[in-house]
Amino acid sequence: MVTALPWISGRAAQGPVDRGEVIPGSLVDAEVFGAVFDAYFGDIHGYVAQRLGVDHAEDVVSDTFLIAFRKRAQYDPARATVRSWLFGIATKLIGKHRRLEARTLRALGRYGPDGDAPGHEDRVSARVSAQSLQPSLASALAGLEQRDRDVILLVALAGLSHEEIATALGIPYGTVGSRLSRARKKLRGSLGGTNPMLVPEEADHG
C-alpha cells in the first residue's frame, strides 16, 4: 500500500474555540480573536505548507486569519466549526495559486523528497512534502483538477467530513462525494490500482 497523506492533527476537540463561542466576544474585544489564531495556526500552516511549500505558506496563512477576522461577524456556528471554516478560507486562497501547487507536486514527483532539484522552489517543494507524499502520489495529485484535489486533500490533510467540506467550500453535499469519488478513481488509475488514501473510504461519510 502506498504511504499516503497523514492527518495534520486529526479532528480538533469540540471546545469553546471550535464551537465559535469566542467569536461574539471578539466583536466586542478584537484581542479575543487571538484565541482562534493560537488554536489553529499550526493546523492551517501545515495544510498550506504541504500544498504550496513553506516559502508561500506564511502569506496565505496570514491572509486566511485576516479574512476570518474581517468576516467574523458573518460566521455562523450552526453551519460550521471554526476549524472547518478556516480550512475553507485557506483552500479558496490556495486556489489562487493552483499553478504553484501543481509545480510543487510535479517537483516532488520528479525528484522525490531527497532529490537534488535544480531550482530553489523545487527544493523547497520536495522538502516540505517529504513527510506526506511519495513521488508517485505527488505526481498523481498534480494531475487532478483543482476542485477535485481540494476535496480529497481536505479529507486527507484536514480530516473534514463531507458535510464540513460542503459548508467550507460552499458546494452541495452530494458534490463533495462525486468529486472525492472521481479523485480517488483518477489517483488509483495513476497508481496502478493502489488505494491512494491513508483514510479508509468508509470514513468519508463521517
**Domain residue ranges in the chain:** 23-194
What span, in angstroms and rounded, lies between the C-alpha atoms of 53 and 127? 8
pLDDT tens per residue across span 42-85: 999 999 988 888 888 999 999 999 999 999 999 999 888 999 99
Please give the residue that has the higher pLDDT: either 71 or 205: 71
- When pLDDT is averaged across residues 30-41 and rounded to a whole number, the result is 93
**CATH number given to 23-194:** 1.20.140.160
pLDDT tens per residue across span 165-194: 999 999 999 999 999 999 999 888 887 776
Hey, how many other C-beta atoms are within 10 angstroms of the C-beta on 56? 21
Sign, Cα dihedral of 175, 179, 182, 188: negative
Residue 29 has pLDDT above 50, yes or no: yes
- When pLDDT is averaged across residues 102-122 and rounded to a whole number, the result is 59
Residues recorded for the chain: 206
pTM for the model? 0.77
CB 160 within 8 A of CB 87: yes
